[in-house]
Structure 1
């Protein structure tokens, strides 16, 4: 297999420093006092010392646990501290794709067909579709995302699944690969929508992905770019409807992104819900905001406005904690 697998072990669940600094700088510019807590252990130490923040901009993703994104909101609720983003239930459901998939099916939202391979499972047959995406059930940023073609055979499938099991120590999702356009929809808002927009990932020539896969290696090589797209166009209206539906069903989320593949027959398949969408100034959400005419600082302001309205809070200029 490819070299990025070795890198994955050192890339677990950390926010990029540029993202943390950009959020903190924007909040400071908006007039707030920002105090970077860093970790949940630091938060609990502050609780012990009775030095808790008034409000937390939650960027916590923890490490090595299928509950990792749910830990911070659960602790913050217990401590009575308002925070940005979804609660423990929404964070856990959206992180664990093997649990999310049946729920999407129940809600009538189209998603690629899938199998779940448990650790130690004896795989008896190849998928019923020709090309699959293999990935850990509870990861993001394309960590451990590999393409598998049935022509490699059953032995190769078993080997690749076992290798992923060894790397990530979680069940592996085998998902039908959908060729076509890949579009990310971003939404800010709970009771009312403040922003919705989308970008399409295209190759260096500006062409849709089609048979290409945006795996970790491709992301790091930077051979793809994102361009703004109009969700009001007939073939993309379904994406907007699904994203808004899920914001209501899973909310309050404050903000989230939704990854879709548009097949050649214009069927829209939901690939992933990013309730922990990165706010890195060079990544999808910031690009969606720019396409909608908002600066990065305006995006942060809109998210903060949404969250404060949700908690019915007004802290003046004394919001602390990122």
Structure 2
């Protein structure tokens, strides 16, 4: 059946009628929505909405993550044929998933950007739909968390990252991809005691009491121990999972703005994400994929896999 479908399927982003099921469209052609899901703004009957935020004006080093959503969507075409590996269900068959498209914003009016993003996510959540966001630089998590905390209360943040992003910054109007989780904690959007950072390998003297499993800890103790510790910390609390692609070692994800050696291997990240099944996840994002520095496309591929794992974690509760 797959071969017959492949012979007739094209531009599934626009032509598919069902919100569920695989796509057998040629990976090298057609419109590149995420996993060939339908592009639509209609949230009726939808379980999960993929959305892009093409914003990178908060970076401190190399730019380019504004091109991340497009690259991640293109890379995801490789995954649209088969059920995600290692899961006991196929999220594409189980859940109604759409590509909600990108946030529209005025690139020249940066101060207006955070509120526009919060409203964008707020609209998705108001329809009782979960969001998975493709960044963009990591600042975008802060406006997103505002919408999530409005709906679910203070969130448990599970953060995969090379950097804590909790450097002190009491100016809530500053737009910086290294201070937004400081602001999220100080604003009451994130419960630090029920949150956890994974893969950290840069120095910050004050992480605001957020438990940290740094990269060396994961290497020495392994993914299974990391999963056990994460689940102990977050319990049944509502979780927002944010995955900065620089949480991976540059050997696996060179296309990012602030690469740091000694990071997680891709197999470790995959094992941790899959074994987190059952946490009370409400939404998530994958950020900091920078195509101009991704000469082989490996970083975008990793980003597409992370986004798919987020779909599976969300879909676990919808089986």
Higher share of residues assigned strand: 1
TM-score tier (shorter): 0.3 to 0.5
Higher share of residues assigned helix: 2
Query: TM-score, normalization: structure 1?
Result: 0.33
RCO comparison, higher one (Cα < 8 Å, 6+): 1
Query: TM-score, normalization: structure 2?
Result: 0.33
Larger Rg: 1
